[in-house]
Structure 1
Amino acid sequence: MVDKSEKFNWLVRIGYFSRAVLYFALGLIALTGAARIAQGTDGIFQAIRGFPLGTVLLWVMVVGLFAYALFRLASLVFDIENNGSDTRGWVHRIGHGASGIAHLALAYAAFKFATTPAAPASDGAQQAASTLLSYEFGGVVLGLIGIAFLGAAFSQAKKGITGSFMNRISAQAPDATRWLGAAGYLARAVVYVVIGWSLIRAGFLISTAEQVKTLGDAVASLADDGIVFTLTALGLMLFGLFSLVLARYRIIPEMDVDGRIPKFRAGR
C-alpha cells in the first residue's frame, strides 16, 4: 500500500517534471519561434499542444503544476523545508508562497489548453491586475508584489552564484547539476526582474495593467536585447534540464506520522 508520504513525494516529482517541460519549451520557443513567444505564456502551451501526444502532456502538466503549487504553498504555511520563522526565513517562505500562486495560474492555463479545442485567448495576468487596480489600494498591492519579484530575482541570482540549491539535491545527481542549476537560476533572475519591474510600473507609476508581464511576455520583451535574450533563453532551457534532474534527485520532505505536516529530510 502506498502511504501518504510516498504519494506526496511522487506528486512533487511530477511537478518538477512539469516545470522541466515548461521551461525547456519556453527557452526553445524563444530561440526558434519569436512569433509564438510574443504571445506570452499562452504561446508556450499552444506549442506544447502541438507536440506528439501534446494534449496528454498538457494534462500531466496540469496535475504536476498543481502539485508543485501545493508543495510551495505548504512551504509557506508549514515551513516544510525548515526555513525558520525569523525575518530571513519568512522572506523565503513568502517567496515559496508567491511561487505557489504563480504555478496555480500556470496549472489553470495548461488546463484551458488541455480542454479547449481552439487556442483560448487570455491575458489572465493583465485581467487580474486590472481587477486589483480597480480597488483603492490595488496599485500599492500590485507594486509591492513587483518588489517581491525583485527580491525573488535577487534570491534566484544568489542561488545561481553560490550553488546553495545543491544542499537539497541527492549526492547521486549528475556532476553537471551544479552548472545547469547556476545557468538556470541566473536566467530566471533576469526574467523575474522584468516581471517585477512591470508590476512596479503598473502599480506605482502608470496605474495600468497593460504593462504587466507573464513568464512568456517577460522573455519576449528581451527579444531586441541580442545577447541578453539569447543567454536568457538558453539559460531557461538549461533550467528545464535542471528541473528534470530535480524530478529524480530532489530530496523531498517526508510526511510526519500523522500524514499532515512534512518533515524535512536532511541532505546527504
Structure 2
Amino acid sequence: MADLSWTIPVMRAGYAGRGLTYLSIAGLSLWAIWRGGEAQGTGSALETLSDSGWGIAVLWLIALGLFAYAVWRGIDAIEDLEEYGDDAKGMISRAGMIVTGLIHGAIAALAISLALGGGGGSGGEGGVSNLVGDVLDWPGGAIIVTVGGLITIAAGIYYLIKGWKAKYREKLRANHFTSNYDWALRFGVMAQGVIIVVIGGFLTVAGFRGSSQEAGGMGKAFDWLASQPFGNFLVIVLCLGLLGFAFFCFVNAVYRVIPKVAGDDLTTLAAKMKAKAA
C-alpha cells in the first residue's frame, strides 16, 4: 500500500480552513446582530472580509484551507482512508465526500476572487438560486432539484444523528481535551445538521414549485429563521451553534484520526467512552 501519511497535514489544514470559515460566518453574523443588522450567509460574510486588510489575509487562509479540504475529501473518497467500505452504504458516503469537497472548493474559489479584488460572482448569496435556476431549465430539472433537496435533508438528518449519538467520537483521538469538551462538539455538529436540513427544505420547495427564488443557502436560512416567532433569538442560538461547529472543525484539525494512516496505539474518544461506561 502506498504511503499516504502526507494526507494528514492536508486534512489538518482542511479542517482548520473549514473552522475558520464557520468562525467568520458566525462571528460576523453575531456582530451584525449586536449592531442592529442581520446575520450573514457565506457569500456576504466573505465579502465583508474583503473590505479590510486583515480580512484579505483571512480570506487567503480560508481559501488555502478549503482547497486543502477539497483535496483531502477527494483522496479520502478514492483511497477510502476512513474505511467506509465498498458496499452501497460505503459508496454513498464516499460519493458524498466528493460532493462536499467540490462545494468547499467552490467556496475557496470565491474567497480567492474576493481576495484579489473581484466580485462575488455566482458564489455570492444569489449563487444557489442561479444554479438552481440553470438546473430547472434542464429536461426533468424540477425532479433533479427536488431529489437533490431530499438528499440534502437526509444529509442534515445524518448530522443531527451523528451529533445526538456522538458518532464523531469514532474519528477523534481520546485525551483530556476532547473528553471535557465533548458537549460543545455535539452541540456544533447538531447545529450544522439544522442548517443543512433547512437548506435542503428550500431546495425541495424550489424543485416542487419550479422556482429558483425558493432556493438559497445559509443567508436564506438565517432570513427564514428570523421571520419565525422569537426569530432573532433562534438566529443567535444557531450562530452560537455554528461557533460550536467551527470549534468541532478546529478540534478535528488537531485530533482527528485517519484509520488507514493512524497507528494501532491510538485510542479513540469512542473507545474511551465505551470503556468508561463498562
Structure 2 distance, partners of 1:264, 1:136, is 46
Asked if 1 retains the 8 angstrom alpha-carbon contact of 2:185 and 2:244, the reply is yes
Considering only aligned residues, what root-mean-square deviation do their CA atoms show, in Å?
Answer: 2.5
Structure 2 distance, partners of 1:265, 1:99, is 27
Asked if 1 retains the 8 angstrom alpha-carbon contact of 2:10 and 2:69, the reply is yes
Q: Which residue of 1 aligns with 2:193?
A: 189
Structure 2 distance, partners of 1:4, 1:86, is 24
C-alpha spacing 1:265/1:104, structure 2 compared with 1 (3 Å) = farther
Q: Spell out, residue by residue over 1:120-141, the C-alpha distance to the aligned partner (whole angstroms, 9 max, x if none).
A: 5842222221111111022211
Q: Spell out, residue by residue over 1:7-35, the C-alpha distance to the aligned partner (whole angstroms, 9 max, x if none).
A: 42222211111111111222223323144
Question: Which of the residues 204, 219, 222 maps onto 2:222?
Answer: 219
Question: Which of the residues 238, 241, 246 maps onto 1:232?
Answer: 238
Q: Which residue of 2 aligns with 1:104?
A: 105
Give the secondary-structure state (helix, strand or coil) at the position aligned to 2:72: helix
The residue identity in structure 1 corresponding to 2:245 is: F
Asked if 2 retains the 8 angstrom alpha-carbon contact of 1:37 and 1:43, the reply is no
Structure 1 distance, partners of 2:95, 2:6, is 25
CA-CA distance at 1:73 after TM superposition: 2.9
Give the secondary-structure state (helix, strand or coil) at the position aligned to 1:81: coil
Asked if 1 retains the 8 angstrom alpha-carbon contact of 2:113 and 2:119, the reply is no
Structure 1 distance, partners of 2:226, 2:117, is 29
**How many residues are matched?**
256
Once structures 1 and 2 are overlaid, which stretch shifts more, 111-120 or 146-155?
A: 111-120
Asked if 1 retains the 8 angstrom alpha-carbon contact of 2:110 and 2:120, the reply is no
Structure 1 distance, partners of 2:109, 2:176, is 31
Q: Which residue of 2 aligns with 1:176?
A: 180
Q: Spell out, residue by residue over 1:229-248, the C-alpha distance to the aligned partner (whole angstroms, 9 max, x if none).
A: 22211110111112111111
C-alpha spacing 1:71/1:228, structure 2 compared with 1 (3 Å) = same
The residue identity in structure 2 corresponding to 1:11 is: V
Give the secondary-structure state (helix, strand or coil) at the position aligned to 1:37: coil
CA-CA distance at 1:56 after TM superposition: 2.0
CA-CA distance at 1:176 after TM superposition: 3.5
Between the aligned residues of both structures, percent identity stands at: 25
Alignment of 1:246 with 2:245, yes or no, is no
C-alpha spacing 1:136/1:245, structure 2 compared with 1 (3 Å) = same
Q: Which residue of 1 aligns with 2:147?
A: 144
Structure 2 distance, partners of 1:127, 1:173, is 46
Alignment of 1:208 with 2:211, yes or no, is yes
Q: Which residue of 2 aligns with 1:55?
A: 56
Q: Which residue of 1 aligns with 2:32?
A: 33
Give the secondary-structure state (helix, strand or coil) at the position aligned to 2:142: helix
Q: Spell out, residue by residue over 1:81-110, the C-alpha distance to the aligned partner (whole angstroms, 9 max, x if none).
A: 111222332332233233222212211221
Relative contact order: is structure 1 or structure 2 higher (C-alpha 8 Å, sep ≥ 6)? 1
Larger radius of gyration: 2
CA-CA distance at 1:46 after TM superposition: 2.2
Structure 2 distance, partners of 1:129, 1:206, is 12
Question: Which of the residues 125, 147, 166 maps onto 2:128?
Answer: 125
C-alpha spacing 1:151/1:173, structure 2 compared with 1 (3 Å) = farther
The residue identity in structure 2 corresponding to 1:217 is: K
Structure 2 distance, partners of 1:216, 1:176, is 32
Structure 2 distance, partners of 1:151, 1:98, is 14
The residue identity in structure 1 corresponding to 2:44 is: G
Question: Which of the residues 152, 160, 169 maps onto 1:166?
Answer: 169
The residue identity in structure 1 corresponding to 2:239 is: A
Structure 1 distance, partners of 2:176, 2:29, is 28
> Structure 1, unaligned stretches of length 5 or more?
255-262
Asked if 2 retains the 8 angstrom alpha-carbon contact of 1:150 and 1:197, the reply is yes
Q: Which residue of 1 aligns with 2:16?
A: 17
CA-CA distance at 1:219 after TM superposition: 2.8
> Structure 2, unaligned stretches of length 5 or more?
268-278
Using the size of structure 1 for normalisation, the TM-score is 0.85
Asked if 1 retains the 8 angstrom alpha-carbon contact of 2:189 and 2:244, the reply is no
C-alpha spacing 1:119/1:197, structure 2 compared with 1 (3 Å) = closer
